[in-house]
Chains A and B, each alone.
Chain A
């Protein structure tokens, strides 16, 4: 069919299924997507530039606003880069707390993604079940940091505050019930015949393309690419913890969704182990000046966020402000796959594919 006969639809920037403010310019041939072009930048705030005018500590709240579904990750990735740049040693307890909050964050973030898989396919009930779990994590974070979305909790040299009284018990309660809740969602959503029909074989990503396009996280692992920074470039106390990396086989939306589901179960194991190994001690490196001024140089560090390899690159010119900050955003790399994955499927599948890539536009646009 010639290009003249195609319908052009703007999905977004304000649309129920764009997971933020993404605009996808879709060319339709009937219901079939012939071309889908994500147009990004609607949430661009210039965070990387703003960081150049703030002290190292003041940048942490900015990183909250990158991936607002998983603020802890950006906090941590940034802090690791600062610590590498300034040569700060983080106390052991702080490292454990970071692992605990980030694994809880993975659960919270994946709940958003799995819930929207349900909402995108029209099963809004699954969304509510997933958010029931996410709410509990967010409650834990609220007790920890005072906020429910932008935590500003992981700081250069440690974490913002020690765990409040009774928090460990609440956390244990949550991780004890979470796997059963995941099995229920697995049954209700991924076991549903319509949901299977809607997600299986849709948006198939080959391992070759996953590597070639720089996909990471559950998107790559859904295609069977066995790559997880927690295991393959171990950081923090992850080498002391026992966990497996779930992998998909076919690389379709179904596999990506189920990889996220199993990662949540694994996160519960990690949190339980970390809570067991947690020893009393300081949570902030001692003797840290209020204004950090690292020696001139640069540093890059990355962690495994809920969306993939999240990296922060920092350049210091010796002053109290970063000379340059750059964020390697996994959501950005994963979103680039959308045109390839959605082509040839229907408009209904486009939103499912977009949801399975799980982009957060705070991080894509920065």
Chain B
């Protein structure tokens, strides 16, 4: 039974991420165009919304090139190793009162730990490409993603301290609106660290276009490249949904389907903010990125944790 449920869940997660990526790419093109004094896609369908219907088949039918010098096995399966953990992490996000697809007692920990596995996939692709620029991108990604785990986990921990549980459904049951001001700093840290986790600007050093061309996925084309893109959007969707639930209460505001709509709405706002940041800021340098993580973000996350502990004890 659990096998069938897992299969069902996996299909659902892939569809959700694929659909989210299609809408997300369109939305990102519109948002970036708005920021850059452009119009963005506007020819196909209302506001160019059908543009992605043309782009998806293009990606599917492109030639799947594997470089002659690449390690074929690593190269071919690396996109899956990046994508799968991110699809898995969606399982513990609470969408409904008292329910999450996988309501494990260590759900929050699961969400923090599992997406980190995709670092391995990035290293596979970087090493498998047998390309100097890709290898540099992979090494950058590994250092960055492992470092930003720390402030991200600490920020989430402050919510856990307030709720007193690692189980998503219990945590959401305990959620109260006054947590928002208490954990606002934590959300800031979570937001920044999540951007670094999903390798998006201004922390997109692993794929830095102007330096490394495309970093670890420089040699990928067609469907495998699309899987990398889906993983990036999947990470964005998962982080936004999870953040919307933990830091802003998600579905707790309204009962039933309306609550779900509120949850998705908050997540969409977070995603838009992520895009806004990307199209506004230049990229950091590797040493600046690490310095920022360890001397600014981590202490801020610790301050938030202390604050949460004090509030939790005082109650």
- Residue A351 contacts which of B32, B35, B37, B211 (CB distance < 8 angstroms)? B211
Question: Per-position contact with B for A330-363: 1 when CB-CB < 8 Å, else 0?
Answer: 0000000000000000111111000000000000
Q: Is B49 at the interface (CB under 8 A from chain A)?
A: no
**With contact pairs A194-B202, A347-B211 given, residues A123 and B133 touching in the complex (Cβ less than 8 Å):** no
Question: Per-position contact with A for B209-229: 1 when CB-CB < 8 Å, else 0?
Answer: 111110000000000000000
Say yes or no: A351 contacts B210, CB within 8 Å: yes
Say yes or no: B210 contacts A194, CB within 8 Å: no
* A residues apposed to B, CB below 8 Å: 7-9, 15-17, 28, 31, 118-126, 128-129, 132, 189, 192, 194-195, 197-198, 346-351
- Residue A192 contacts which of B201, B282, B288 (CB distance < 8 angstroms)? B282
Pairs A–B under 8 Å by Cβ, sample size 10? A16-B213, A17-B210, A31-B136, A122-B202, A123-B282, A125-B32, A125-B280, A197-B285, A198-B284, A351-B211
Q: Is B260 at the interface (CB under 8 A from chain A)?
A: no
| Nearest CB in chain B: distance from A187 CB, A | 12
Say yes or no: B284 contacts A9, CB within 8 Å: no
Question: Per-position contact with A for B175-213: 1 when CB-CB < 8 Å, else 0?
Answer: 000000000000000000000000001101100111111
What chain A residues lie within 8 Å of B32 (beta carbons)? Answer: 125
Q: Is B132 at the interface (CB under 8 A from chain A)?
A: yes
Q: A31–B206 Cα gap in the complex (Å)? A: 12
**With contact pairs A346-B287, A348-B205 given, residues A129 and B210 touching in the complex (Cβ less than 8 Å):** no
- Residue B283 contacts which of A16, A132, A194 (CB distance < 8 angstroms)? A194
Q: A346–B285 Cα gap in the complex (Å)? A: 8
What chain A residues lie within 8 Å of B202 (beta carbons)? Answer: 122, 194
Q: A111–B159 Cα gap in the complex (Å)? A: 48
- Centre residue among A15, A121, A350 by max chain B CB count within 10 A: A121
What chain B residues lie within 8 Å of A118 (beta carbons)? Answer: 282
- Residue B281 contacts which of A15, A120, A194 (CB distance < 8 angstroms)? A194
Q: Is B147 at the interface (CB under 8 A from chain A)?
A: no
- Residue B210 contacts which of A122, A128, A346 (CB distance < 8 angstroms)? A122
Q: Residue on A with the closest CB to B132?
A: A9
**With contact pairs A16-B210, A122-B202, A125-B279 given, residues A349 and B37 touching in the complex (Cβ less than 8 Å):** no
Q: A7–B210 Cα gap in the complex (Å)? A: 19
Say yes or no: B285 contacts A122, CB within 8 Å: no
* B residues apposed to A, CB below 8 Å: 32, 35-38, 132-133, 136, 201-202, 204-205, 208-213, 279-288
Q: Is the interface of A mostly helix, strand, loop or mixed?
A: helix
Q: A147–B202 Cα gap in the complex (Å)? A: 37
Q: A351–B208 Cα gap in the complex (Å)? A: 11
Say yes or no: A198 contacts B37, CB within 8 Å: no
Q: Residue on A with the closest CB to B287?
A: A346
Say yes or no: A346 contacts B132, CB within 8 Å: no
Say yes or no: B282 contacts A194, CB within 8 Å: yes
What chain A residues lie within 8 Å of B281 (beta carbons)? Answer: 122-123, 192, 194
Say yes or no: B35 contacts A125, CB within 8 Å: yes
Say yes or no: B279 contacts A124, CB within 8 Å: yes
- Centre residue among B35, B38, B212 by max chain A CB count within 10 A: B212
What chain A residues lie within 8 Å of B36 (beta carbons)? Answer: 124-125, 128-129
What chain B residues lie within 8 Å of A7 (beta carbons)? Answer: 132, 136
| Nearest CB in chain B: distance from A27 CB, A | 11
Say yes or no: B209 contacts A16, CB within 8 Å: yes
- Centre residue among A8, A124, A128, A192 by max chain B CB count within 10 A: A124
- Residue B37 contacts which of A16, A31, A123, A132 (CB distance < 8 angstroms)? A132
Say yes or no: B283 contacts A128, CB within 8 Å: no
Q: A347–B132 Cα gap in the complex (Å)? A: 12
Say yes or no: A348 contacts B286, CB within 8 Å: yes
Q: A351–B213 Cα gap in the complex (Å)? A: 12
Q: A17–B212 Cα gap in the complex (Å)? A: 9
Say yes or no: B285 contacts A349, CB within 8 Å: yes
- Residue B208 contacts which of A122, A123, A125, A126 (CB distance < 8 angstroms)? A122
Q: A161–B202 Cα gap in the complex (Å)? A: 48
**With contact pairs A119-B210, A122-B204, A129-B37 given, residues A197 and B136 touching in the complex (Cβ less than 8 Å):** no
- Residue A17 contacts which of B38, B211, B285 (CB distance < 8 angstroms)? B211
Q: Residue on A with the closest CB to B133?
A: A9
Q: Residue on B with the closest CB to A188?
A: B280
What chain A residues lie within 8 Å of B282 (beta carbons)? Answer: 118, 121-123, 126, 189, 192, 194-195, 198
| Nearest CB in chain A: distance from B18 CB, A | 26
Say yes or no: A122 contacts B201, CB within 8 Å: yes
Say yes or no: A197 contacts B284, CB within 8 Å: yes
Q: A322–B286 Cα gap in the complex (Å)? A: 52
What chain A residues lie within 8 Å of B285 (beta carbons)? Answer: 197-198, 346, 348-349
Say yes or no: A194 contacts B211, CB within 8 Å: no
Q: A346–B136 Cα gap in the complex (Å)? A: 12
Say yes or no: A128 contacts B287, CB within 8 Å: no
Q: Residue on A with the closest CB to B140?
A: A31
Q: A119–B279 Cα gap in the complex (Å)? A: 11
Q: Residue on A with the closest CB to B285?
A: A348
| Nearest CB in chain B: distance from A194 CB, A | 5
Say yes or no: B288 contacts A347, CB within 8 Å: no
What chain A residues lie within 8 Å of B37 (beta carbons)? Answer: 128-129, 132
Q: A132–B209 Cα gap in the complex (Å)? A: 22
Say yes or no: B132 contacts A15, CB within 8 Å: no
What chain A residues lie within 8 Å of B201 (beta carbons)? Answer: 122
Say yes or no: A128 contacts B211, CB within 8 Å: no
